[in-house]
C-alpha cells in the first residue's frame, strides 16, 4: 500500500525534474546498470550451462546413452540456432554490404569469435 504510493509519487515527480544535466547523468547511470545486468545474466547463463553439462556428463559416464544423445542433440541445436541468428543478422542488419560495412564487420567479427571459441573449447 504505502510503498506503492511512494513509488508512484517518485515516478510522477521524475517528470517535473528540470533537464539541466539530469538526463546525461542518469543516462550514464543507466548505461552502467545495463552493462552490469547483462554481465550478471551472462555469468548466470554460463553457470547454468556448465552445471547442466556436468550433470549430463556424469549420467553418460555412469552408462546412460540417452543423456549422451541429448547432449549431442542440444549441442547441434544451439549451433544451428546460432548459425540461423547470424544469417538473420546479415539479412536484416546488413542488407547492403557496401553501405553497412560497420554492421557487416561486427557480425563477421562475432562469427569469427564464436568459431574460435568453439574450437578452443
Greater confidence (8 vs 121) lies with: 8
pLDDT reported for residue 112: 96
End-of-domain residue from the set 20, 37, 63: 63
Same domain as 115, residue 71:
yes
Same domain as 86, residue 51:
no
Mean of per-residue pLDDT scores for the chain: 92
pLDDT reported for residue 20: 78
Reading the block at residue 33, the C-alpha cell is 546498470
Reading the block at residue 6, the C-alpha cell is 511512494
End-of-domain residue from the set 15, 45, 63: 63
Same domain as 114, residue 73:
yes
Q: By the 8 A CB rule, do 114 and 82 touch?
A: yes
Show the domain range for 92. 64-121
Same domain as 99, residue 50:
no
End-of-domain residue from the set 27, 47, 63: 63
Q: How many domains, in total, are found in the chain?
A: 2
**Prediction pTM value:** 0.67
pLDDT, tens digit (0-9, with 9 covering 90-100), for 18-52 = 877 778 888 899 999 999 999 999 999 999 999 99
Whole-angstrom distance, CA of residue 11 vs CA of residue 8: 5
User: For the residues 84-103, what does the mean pLDDT come to?
Assistant: 88
DSSP secondary structure string for all residues of 86-106: HHHHHHHH-SSTTT-HHHHHH
Q: By the 8 A CB rule, do 97 and 104 touch?
A: yes
Amino acid at each position: 500500500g504505502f510503498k506503492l504510493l511512494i513509488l508512484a509519487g517518485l515516478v510522477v515527480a521524475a517528470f517535473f525534474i528540470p533537464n539541466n544535466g539530469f538526463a546525461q547523468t542518469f543516462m550514464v547511470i543507466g548505461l552502467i546498470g545495463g552493462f552490469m545486468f547483462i554481465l550478471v545474466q551472462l555469468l548466470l547463463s554460463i553457470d547454468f550451462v556448465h552445471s547442466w553439462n556436468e550433470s549430463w556428463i556424469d549420467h553418460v559416464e555412469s552408462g546412460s546413452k540417452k543423456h549422451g544423445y541429448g547432449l549431442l542433440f542440444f549441442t547441434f541445436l544451439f549451433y544451428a540456432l546460432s548459425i540461423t541468428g547470424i544469417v538473420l543478422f546479415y539479412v536484416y542488419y546488413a542488407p547492403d554490404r557496401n553501405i553497412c560495412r560497420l554492421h557487416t564487420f561486427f557480425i563477421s567479427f562475432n562469427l569469427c569469435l564464436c568459431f574460435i571459441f568453439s574450437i578452443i573449447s
